Amino acid sequence: MKCGFTITILFAVCFLLGGCAIRQATGDAEASPTVTGSMMKREFDSIPPPERGKPISVAIYSFKDLTGQRRPQSGVASLSTAVTQGAENFLIKALQDVGRGKWFEVVERVGIDSLTKERLIIRQMREAYEGNEAKPLMPMQFASIIIEGGVVGYDTSINSGGVGARIFGIGSQSQWSQDVVTVSIRAVSVNTGKVLLAVNTQKSILSSGDSLTVMKFFDSGTKAFEAEAGLTVNEAGTYAVKATIEAAVLELIKEGVAKNIWEYRAQETKEGGGDE
């Protein structure tokens, strides 16, 4: 009787712990989509605008994954990459948002083929219907700076560890690991081809796991009861890439000011104290 009561209590405890872990892991499964904002919005909004009134025109042709890393998957050969293949979208958004949009003006170059094809279609249709009086399209805006670079590093499990203990068949265990993503950005002058600025930024990606194990033997070791519950939390790699790119854009502006490539607006620097 006592043995059965003990098993019932242990089973109830493990069921509750396992239910909480599952609920935590799947509680947001039905959450509505949200608009992702900047990870560094406060820093983006507080940086002073440039001295020149008009934003700097920049172009991005590509911002590739240069890591060569595949997503870790035990037992099979994975063709999925460890980081996103669309990092240029994060870079474009960061350049548009930094300094409340007063620093950079991004011209479309990632989809330049589609853009030029559409302009060609418009020109042909206008000529077909309007002849020599067809109104020409406005000339495309050119950039004074090209932003190059990419995700250059993704190092997995550079640090890992854990701790655990068990007494009377009941114990808990915690494990953690750390990955690092590295982003490199450089600004190239279109007029001279000179690399004006080059910055590298890194961000850690943390993963942790907690588990609880219960093991009991009854009836002189002839019967066993075992239960386990756990929860693992992994920081999203895409989040880390986005945050690292935003930090690189912010550092690009600060380094440009330090090297006298551009300047903060004097009034803003005097009032807000500047970033340097």
pLDDT in tens, 88-122: 999 999 999 999 999 999 999 999 999 999 999 99
Domain 2-26+42-161+171-272 is found in CATH 3.40.50.2000: no
- Domain positions in the chain are 2-26+42-161+171-272
What residues of the chain score a pLDDT lower than 50? Answer: 1-2, 5, 76, 268-276
Contact 249, 94 (CB under 8 A): yes
pLDDT score recorded for residue 12 = 54
Closest CA to 214 of 226, 222, 224: 226
pLDDT score recorded for residue 275 = 46
Burial class from Cβ neighbours inside 10 Å (0-12, 13-18, 19+) for residue 199 reads: buried
pTM score, whole prediction: 0.77
Extract the runs of DSSP E, i.e. beta strands, from the chain.
56-59, 64-65, 104-107, 145-167, 170-189, 195-218, 223-234
pLDDT in tens, 37-73: 777 888 999 999 998 778 999 999 999 888 877 666 5
